[in-house]
Amino acid sequence: MRVGIGYDVHAFAENRKLILGGVEIKHYKGLKGHSDADVLIHSIMDALLGAAGLNDIGVHFPDTDMNFKDISSLKLLSIVKEKVSTKGYKIINIDSVIMLEKPKISPYTKLMKENIAKSLDIKQEQINIKATTTEKLGFCGREEGAAAESIVLLE
We report the CATH number of the domain holding residue 80 as: 3.30.1330.50
pLDDT for res 10: 97
138: left (phi over 0), alpha (psi -120 to 50) or beta: left
* Structural domain of 119: 2-154
pLDDT for res 16: 95
**Whole-structure pTM value:** 0.95
pLDDT for res 87: 96
pLDDT tens readout for residues 74-115:
999 999 999 999 999 999 999 999 999 999 999 999 999 999
Say if strands 2-13 and 30-31 run parallel, antiparallel, or are unpaired: antiparallel
The number of angstroms, rounded, from the C-alpha of 27 to the middle of its chain's C-alpha atoms is: 18
CA distance 92 to 70: 30
Cα Rg for the chain, rounded, in angstroms? 15
By residue count, the chain amounts to 155
pLDDT for res 38: 97
Q: Which residues of the chain have pLDDT under 70?
A: none
**Count of domains observed in the chain:** 1
pLDDT for res 63: 87
DSSP state of 67: G
Cis, peptide link before residue 107, omega less than 30° from 0: no
pLDDT for res 68: 87
